[in-house]
């Protein structure tokens, strides 16, 4: 079933993909596995885009499908974890980048794992992160980005936090398609999380929850 879901998404068969997800959700499939299958499908879509087989409309359609699937899977995840807020995480997609599907999954998993999450959206300028840190006082910051140009935005964001004198008050994690340990070093962040669950693990570690 999960393989079929990957095929349906990569072949832009929206109706079939949503039907499969409904059956999986009704059949009590692990919601994290459903999201993993979607991530795999998005990788394939990305490769086809790179290869010139797919164009922007396909990227948009895949993005739309994933949004709908996330909405369908959400209630399942919600039910799994008790909602006692254990720490604050501020998250956003950095300036110049509008990709938010992965970020939304991270926000959502943090939320269902008991964190108070403030998601400040996409294309967020460094100064906005600084203002929000002052207002929300999070312990953890999540920077998401999928474009190569997001490397610079991440660096600028960390610098702005530093210049505002807030760097030692927060731990900063980065993530998103093109991100890596090297980008983490370049940006001056504290950690790179390869997927949403790793973001949750990092936040737990930093806040002192196991």
CB 209, min distance to ligand B12, A = 16
Q: Which residue has the tokens 């164009």?
A: 55
CB 189, min distance to ligand B12, A = 9
Residues 6+ apart with CB under 8 A from 121: 92, 93, 100
Cα–Cα distance between 36 and 43 in angstroms, integer? 11
Q: List the beta bridge partners of residue 20.
A: none
CB 178, min distance to ligand B12, A = 5
Residues 6+ apart with CB under 8 A from 202: 140, 171, 173, 191, 193
Tokens of 20: 């499969």
CB 35, min distance to ligand B12, A = 7
| One character per residue 181-210, x = contact with ligand B12 (rule: CB under 6 A) | ------------x-xx-xx-----------
Q: Does 9 bind ligand B12 (CB under 6 A)?
A: no
Nearer to ligand B12, 31 or 175 (CB): 175
Tokens of 65: 């499908």
Phi, psi of 176 (to 5 degrees): 125, 155
The answer to whether 149 and 96 have CB atoms below 8 angstroms apart is: yes
Interface region with ligand B12, contact rule CB under 6 A, candidates 7-15, 92-100, 124-132, 155-163: 92-100
Cα–Cα distance between 153 and 124 in angstroms, integer? 9
CB 63, min distance to ligand B12, A = 3
* Residues 33-62 close enough to bind ligand B12 by CB under 6 A: 39, 42-43, 45-46, 49-50, 56, 59-60, 62
Q: Does 103 bind ligand B12 (CB under 6 A)?
A: yes
Q: List the beta bridge partners of residue 92.
A: 143
Binding interface with ligand B12 (CB under 6 A): 39, 42-43, 45-46, 49-50, 56, 59-60, 62-63, 66, 96-103, 105-106, 142-144, 146-148, 173-178, 193, 195-196, 198-199
């Amino acid at each position: 079933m999960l393989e079929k879901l990957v095929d349906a998404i990569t072949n832009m068969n929206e109706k079939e993909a949503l039907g499969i997800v409904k059956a999986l959700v009704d059949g009590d499939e692990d919601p994290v596995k459903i999201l993993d299958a979607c991530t795999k499908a998005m990788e394939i879509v990305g490769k086809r885009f790179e290869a010139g087989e797919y164009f922007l409309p396909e990227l948009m359609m895949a993005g739309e499908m994933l949004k709908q699937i996330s909405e369908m899977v959400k209630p399942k995840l919600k039910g799994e974890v008790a909602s006692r807020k254990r720490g604050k995480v501020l998250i956003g997609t950095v300036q110049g980048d509008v990709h938010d599907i992965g970020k939304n999954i991270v926000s959502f998993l943090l939320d269902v794992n008991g964190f108070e999450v403030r998601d400040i959206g996409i294309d967020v300028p460094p100064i906005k992160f600084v203002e929000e840190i002052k207002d929300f006082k999070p312990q953890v910051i999540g920077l998401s980005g999928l474009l190569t140009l997001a490397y610079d935005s991440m660096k600028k964001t960390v610098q702005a936090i530093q210049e505002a004198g807030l760097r030692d008050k927060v731990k900063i994690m980065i993530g998103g398609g093109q991100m890596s340990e090297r980008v983490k070093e370049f940006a001056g962040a504290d950690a790179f999380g390869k997927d949403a669950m790793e973001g949750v693990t990092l936040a737990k570690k930093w806040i002192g929850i196991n």
